Each structure stands twice: as C-alpha cells, then as structure tokens.
Chains A and B, each alone.
Chain A
Amino acid sequence: MSIATSTDRTFLRMALGHPAFVIGFVLSSFFVALALISFVWTPFDPTKLSIANKLQTPSLHHWFGTDHFGRDMFSMIMVGARVSIAVAFVAVGIGMIAGVPLGLYAAARRGSFIDELIMRGNDLVFAFPSLLLAIMITAVFGPGAINAIIAIGIFNVPVFARLSRGAALSLWTRDFILAARVAGKGAARISAEHILPNIANLLIVQGTIQFSLAILAEAALAYVGLGAQPPLPSWGRMLADAQTLISLAPHMALFPGFAIIITVLGLNLMGDGLRDLFDPKLRRER
C-alpha cells in the first residue's frame, strides 16, 4: 500500500522502465540543474545592460541571443528558472503545510461543525478563479515575488485540504486504524502516524502537478507585471517584453516560451509517471 512496502531498489527499476516518468524527470531535472548552476555561474550577468548589443540573434557568444537591452537571454533563462522554481516550490509548500493538516483534521472530525467550516471555507477559495485571486492579492499587497508566492500558495491550500480529507476519510474506516484506536491512540497521533504515510504518494503526485500549475501561474502573473519585479529576470516578463518585438526578434519570445512549456510538460509527465508507479493495481500488473 505505501512506498515503504516495496524496496527502494524495485521502485527504481520500475521507474526506469516507465518512459513518461523518465522523460518528465529528465526535462524537469534539466531546469532544476540550470537553476542551481545559476547560483554559481551564468555566461553573463543577467542584469547587466548593454544597449549597444541589443536584439542579437543566437550565436556562439550569446547562445540564446540578447534581449532589447542587450542582456544575455541564456543567463536570464537560467536565473528565470531559479525564480520560477523557487516561487512554485514555496507556493506548493505553503499549500501542503496548510492544506494537509486542515484536511486531516477535517477527516478526523468528519461530520462535525469544524469539518463543515474547513471544507466550506475551501469551497469559497475554490469558487474564485485562481488567477483572479492571485491578481487580487498582488493588487492589494503590491506586485513582487513574495506576494506572488503567497497568492499562488493560498489557492493551493484547498487542493491539498480536499485531497487529504478525501483520502483520509476512506482510511478511517479501515481495520488497522481501528486497531490503532483500540490501542488508545488519539486522532492526532493516528493522523500523523498511520494516515499521513498512507496518503503520502497521493500528495507527491498532486504536488508535482500543482508545481507545474504554480510555474504557469507565476509566469502568468509576471506576464501581467505582478510577479517578480525587474531587474530579477522572470520567464513571464521576458515573454511580455518580447510581445511587441516578436516580428523583429522572435528569439526573444521563443526561448522563454519553450522554457515554460518544457518545464510544465516535464513536471506533468513526471506526475503522471509517479501516479502510475504508486498505483498498486498497475504495479501488480507489471
């Protein structure tokens, strides 16, 4: 049922035999690696303007060309990866840290007033289109990377709360939980020691999907000018900057566009792969 029941070795073997997972993992790791390398090295300073070298097409010197200020596009994509991944990681983290305990608590107190309160509160957040909510938050608190993280984090909370409540509810009726209750464990301990490990795989799969959605959301916010503010490079803003120059310098739109597509595609493939790998029914068939 849980990951712990299969050894790490067989899991790894299965993972390598799953093409979607492998492709997704390689694509996402590539951008994570780019982001990590950008901390120690970029070909050029991504914030250094050089107006004389503006709008250069890709060359051996500037691998992805230069933008309208003569900044090196490859360096900007590297640092932009860092911003995208950091924003998405923290935002999904906020969603999990706040959402999972809420969901588990609601499941433990199922049918109670508290359960209703938490779940209807979730419905309320869900009822707002997520991007609209994010725009509202950044409009009130001002644009910036931190507020983008908070905004994306908030609409991740109900996703995880609902998922963990649903999964936990089905577990609460199981015999091993009954055994734990007979042994005198409280609801909090049961949730932490028995429920959480058993829904971890679901959370990891959902986390991967949410991660890709968060990257898209960050790019969308940055595109409308509500994400990370200049001079910090951001994929969404690079696209926005490229918009009027698209016929003059198509490379300015292509590279950040591809970066977003490939990262999101990679994460989605990896999420699908993980779901298959964690699914006991599929695993038995293999």
Chain B
Amino acid sequence: MTRTAITAAAVSILALGLAFGPAPALAAKNSASIGMQLEPPNLDPTGGAAAAIDEVVYANVFEGLTRFGADGSILPALAESWEISEDGLTYTFKLRTGVTFHDGSAFDADDVKFSLDRARADDSTNAQKALFADIASVEVVDPATVKVTLSQPNGSFLFNMAWGDAVIVAPETAADNAAKPVGTGPFTFAEWVKGDRVDLARNPDYWGEPVSLEKVTFKFISDPTAAFAAMMAGDLDAYPAFPAPENLTQFEADPRFSVIIGSSEGETILAMNNKKAPLDNIKVRQAITHAIDRQAIIDGAMFGYGTPIGTHFAPHHPAYLDLTAQSAYDPEKSKALLAEAGVTDLTLTLKLPPPSYARRGGEIIAAQLREVGIETEITNVEWAQWLEDVFKGKNFDLTVISHTEPMDIGIYGRDDYYFQYADPDFKAIMADLANATDPAKRTELMQAAQKKIADDYVNAYLFQLPRTGVADAKLKGLWPNSPTQANDMTGVSWEE
C-alpha cells in the first residue's frame, strides 16, 4: 500500500521532471558570463590604476565626455559634440540631455565640472593625473554646455578624455564608487561577490540605444587551465583576453567557439638597464638585439600569435614605422659587436614576471643569448617582487615585459624610469609632440621618436602582444582589439 504510493509519487515526480526539465534551455539567452584573469581591487576607474577596473566598468557602467571606439577612434559619449578654438586652448563641449545617473539624479554640466576638478585636484587619487595636467579651468556655461580652457595646446586632449580615468561621476555618489559604482552607462552595478564575480544588469533608463544583454557577469578565473576548462564546460561565454595561447588551436578546431585575434597596445620588450655596465654601452645593447630571433619567440612563447616590432610603437597605429630590419636576427653581427665592445664572459640577470609571454619568452631569449656567448641567470619573480625589485629598485640587467598602455612611447623620456634611458634629445621630441596639434607634424614627431629609441637600441623590441580572445560562436559584438583596457558589452548580443 505505502510502497505503491511512494512508487506513484516517484513516477509522477519523474514525469514532471521530464516534462519541465529541458524547457528553460529553449528560452533565448540574454545574459553573458565573461572571463577575466584578474579581479579589480575596486570598481572606481578614477581611483585606481588596475586595468581590471576598466575591464569591468569602462563603457558599461561609466562614460566620459568622449570614448574609444572598437577601432581606437575617439567617439562622442556624454559630450554630443565639441568646438575647439583657433588657438587650441578652449574646448566647448555640448552635452547630451536627458541623461540620468543610475541613482536617478540627472546628469548636467555641474557633474562634468565636478569630475574634472576632482580628478585634477591636488589631493586627487586619480592614477593618471597627467591626463588632466593641461586643464587650466572648467566653466559651466549652461546645464548642457561646458567650456574647458587649457594652459597650453594639447593635441591629445580628446584622446585623454576618453580614458577610463576621465569618466564623469556624480558628486553625491563619487565617494562610494569603489564598492558601489554609480555611472551613466547602459549597465548598472548589481553585485560583487569578492573573489568570484561582478554582476551588471541592464539599465532600463539608458539615454542611448538600449543594449541587448539583460545581465553581464564578469568572472575572475586567473588559472589558464581552469579558464580552459570553464570555457569548454560552457560556464563562460567568452574570455576576451585568454591567457594561454597554446589552447587557442583547440578552440579553433571546435565549432562551438570562435577565436578572436586582435591587436592590443602591449609592446612586449626585453628591457635593458641602460645605466648599468656593460649595458650602458650601446654596442652591447645592439649585440643583444641582433642575438634575438623574434619569430622563434613568437612561435615558441606565443604559439605563433604576435607581430614582430622594431620599436616601441603599436603596428596598427597609422604613424608606426617598421624598424624590425634594423635589429634583425644576426648572431654573427652580434658576436662581432660584442668583440668590438671588448666584452667577454658576460653574465646578465634576467628577471621574469609571471605571464607566460615573459616566462617562456625569457627562456627562449636566454637560449638565444647563450648562442652568442652571453650567459643569463634567470629568476622568476612574482608581480609584487617585479614592481619592487625591477620597476622601483632598478635592480636588474634584463627583464621581459609588455607595456600595455596606449601610446606610451613617452615613458622613454621619463627620468628615473626603470630602464633608465631619459635621453635629452628624446625628451625634446616629446616636448615638441605635446605642443603639436597639426596631424602631419605629430606623425613626423612620433616617427622621429620611434627612430631615436631604435637607433639607441634602448631595449630589444620583441613583438606586439596580440589580444587573443575566445567566445561562444553565437556571441557577437565583442571588441576584437583593445584600444584601451575594456570589455565593452554595449554592442554584444546573442545570434538568433
């Protein structure tokens, strides 16, 4: 009696399960989980340098006056249009109207003034204060117009305003953005489970074109093996900066996935300590560059993904000069240069940070240098140690690193920068560039700068780090390139 009752109950439960079980899978998917390698320390792009902050909130939660497009171009965002005065000193921004912050308050010119003044204030915690250095004053003309006056012409001012560090925040909520970001973007912040994920939800009151996705989850999976498994299992819909290039061939072979190979702003270099003997000798540095076979490094460390570079400039930039031939692979020339410099029995330290391009690339470089008679002592270091020892302490001979900031050739003019170049002639080129607004003149100066550092063999320039992403084949609209550190989900949708 009891047994039959239980059996009947079990059968009906089973039947229910069979009837309703598979149903949800048929519903159209309108959420996406995006894998990221690093978790952001906070979610306030105006208060931290970590790339992971912008990778979550840029263009999704926060917007600036201008923004980067997928191709790196500067597009209008909260500023609908702008006018630049003849002398290049005054920018008048016409703002969009009807825009509200996620907390319901309206966006107007006062918010722009507040955000820019806050970022350039003496006590500002903005990680890129240099972006605002040329601003002399910000004036509110009317609620929809802002006039920014510069102290000197700055050809890259609109570019600067597109950075994640220059987003517009509301005075009421600015202080809490680190944990609970409130912006004007198409997604609102929903939840942050520390160590696991950040959830964003669609903003129903967005001023622009409504986005397709209802929910976006950024999941933090740093281990490449775990990331591979999560993609394969379908726990992630995309991993825009996949950390293990060796797995890409497997994704390429699988019709469920599409592999997106784009360009990044990461110039990967073998940095040399220019003030430390014998690397203060240009012949030794030149010998090192000729000892390196870039293609072998790209094939061995990056599994073929990467573009060789001959100077510190992104190949997809219009002003790029291909100078790879100047430091072509030529072990004989390298040996001759070493002999000319009178250097024998050279042993150099080579410190390698954690990313695989550095660890693997470093091992290949060590083997290539050994071929020309330079011994290296490899030390694998963690990021904190690298920053302390190499970047701050300058206690190194060689290190492999990718400089991922856009247009960062200016670092060669910085005093006290870790590879210790800071050549006065180079600084002069940079000063001219900062003042130049004429595009032709700017291109000329950028090319002069590229030539200068290639001629001085400051570092060995290896390859442009590709942005190797992997995504569900049906997920469309992800950025192939990374003109800035961002995962713009605005245009992402599921294919029907």
Contact = CB atoms under 8 A, between A and B. Distances in A.
Interface string B268-306: 000000000000000000000000000010011000000
Interface in B223-254: 224-225, 228, 244, 246-247, 249-250
Interface residues of B, number: 24
Interface in B291-337: 296, 299-300
Interface in B365-400: 366-368, 370, 377-380
B366 A231 contact: yes
B484 to A, nearest CB: 27
A54 B225 contact: no
B296 A51 contact: yes
Contact of B378 (A49, A51, A231): A231
A2 interface: no
A237 to B, nearest CB: 9
**Interface SS of chain B: helix, strand, loop or mixed?**
helix
A11 interface: no
Interface string A47-60: 11101101000000
Interface stretch (A23-31, A174-182, A188-196, A240-248): A240-248
B364 A248 contact: no
7 contacts: A47-B370, A49-B368, A143-B379, A229-B380, A243-B225, A248-B246, A248-B249
Given A49-B300, A51-B299, A246-B225, A69 B246 contact: no
B360 interface: yes
Contacts of A143: 379-380
Contact of B250 (A142, A144, A247): A247
A247 B231 CA distance: 14
A82 interface: no
A197 interface: no
A196 to B, nearest CB: 41
A68 interface: yes
Given A69-B300, A69-B360, A248-B247, 8 more contacts: A49-B296, A52-B299, A54-B300, A68-B300, A68-B360, A229-B380, A231-B378, A248-B246
A230 interface: yes
Nearest to A246: B225
B363 interface: yes
Q: Which of A48, A225, A243 has the most chain B CB atoms closer than 10 A to its own CB? A: A225
Nearest to B296: A51
A229 B377 CA distance: 8
Given A230-B366, A247-B228, A68 B380 contact: no
A248 B367 contact: no
B50 to A, nearest CB: 23
A51 B300 contact: yes
Q: Which 10 A-B pairs have the closest CB atoms?
A: A51-B300, A244-B244, A225-B380, A49-B367, A244-B224, A51-B296, A51-B299, A230-B363, A229-B378, A230-B378
Contacts of B377: 229
Interface of A: 47-49, 51-52, 54, 68-70, 142-144, 225, 229-231, 243-248
A43 to B, nearest CB: 18
Contacts of A52: 299
Contacts of A231: 363, 366-367, 370, 378
Contacts of A246: 225
Contacts of A70: 300
A70 B363 CA distance: 12
A229 B359 CA distance: 11
Contacts of A47: 367, 370
A225 B380 CA distance: 7
A244 B248 CA distance: 11
Contacts of A49: 296, 300, 363-364, 367-368
Contacts of B250: 247-248
Contacts of B224: 243-244
Contacts of A48: 367
Contacts of B380: 143, 225, 229
B189 to A, nearest CB: 33
Contacts of A244: 224-225, 228, 244, 246-247, 356
B363 A69 contact: yes
A229 B379 CA distance: 7
Nearest to B300: A51
A48 B363 CA distance: 11
Contacts of A54: 299-300
B241 to A, nearest CB: 15
B363 to A, nearest CB: 5
A54 B360 CA distance: 13
A142 B362 CA distance: 18
A229 B244 CA distance: 22
Contacts of B366: 230-231
A69 B296 CA distance: 9
Nearest to A241: B360
Contacts of B370: 47, 231
A169 to B, nearest CB: 45
A2 B356 CA distance: 55
B364 A69 contact: yes
B102 to A, nearest CB: 39
Nearest to B245: A244
Contacts of A243: 224-225
Contacts of B225: 243-244, 246
A85 B485 CA distance: 47
Contacts of B362: 230
B370 to A, nearest CB: 8
B76 to A, nearest CB: 42
A233 to B, nearest CB: 11
